[in-house]
Amino acid sequence: MAGSKSLRDRCVLLTGPMGAGKSRVGRALASRLGFEFLDTDALVEKAAGTTIAEIFARDGEAAFRAREREVLRKLPNARCVVALGGGAIVPEENRAIVRGKGTLVWLDARPETLAERIGEGEDRPLLAGLDRAGRIAKLGALREAREPAYASATLRIDTDALDVEGVCAALVERLGAGAAA
């Protein structure tokens, strides 16, 4: 099957804003492909022995991003699906690390969809204390600021109208159809 070698040999790394479905889709895609699933936010928390919210509160975003970069460096480069943190690929250095690991896929959605999926966002440091309108505005601003980094992905999937299985099906089809990047 054309393209299956790239699937078999490379990781699939999912990027996009919080609420786009990276973790849920990542778990489902990994299961479908028989790959390991990794979530960089969970790996940062495990290495730090605390939550991301606590890292942000105690040490600031720069300290979190440094921990995140270390996690990216240690990722495998074969047979895994990785849910990246929403801002993980903003620094060019991180994009270079990720490009060496596999195929980068941008899961995208409108800010309104993201806010609906996230809910109150109490466990999201960048959304802490915001009402629904504030969350939508913040999500829109973050997406706009990060769009140049997200656009470096090999593939983009709009997840607004798709459930997890729909996104997985689209990914398998598009990856198998020749994203041998």
How many domains, in total, are found in the chain? Answer: 1
Is the pLDDT confidence value at 4 over 50? no
Is residue 22, in this structure, part of any structural domain at all? yes
Beta bridge partners of 117: none
Let me know if residue 57 belongs to a domain: yes
Host domain of residue 112: 4-174
pLDDT at 179 over 60: no
Q: What is the CATH number of the domain that holds 111?
A: 3.40.50.300
Task: Give the tens place of pLDDT for each residue, 29-69.
Answer: 999 999 999 999 999 999 999 998 899 889 998 999 999 99
What would the pLDDT profile of 69-80 be if each residue is shown by its tens digit?
A: 999 999 998 999
**Domain assignment present for 166:** yes
Q: What is the radius of gyration, based on Cα positions, of the chain? A: 16
- pLDDT confidence of residue 176: 81
Q: What is the mean pLDDT of the chain?
A: 89
Residues 83 and 29: their CA atoms lie apart, in Å, by 11
**180 is a domain residue:** no
**Sheet strands (E) in the chain:** 11-15, 36-39, 80-83, 102-108, 155-158
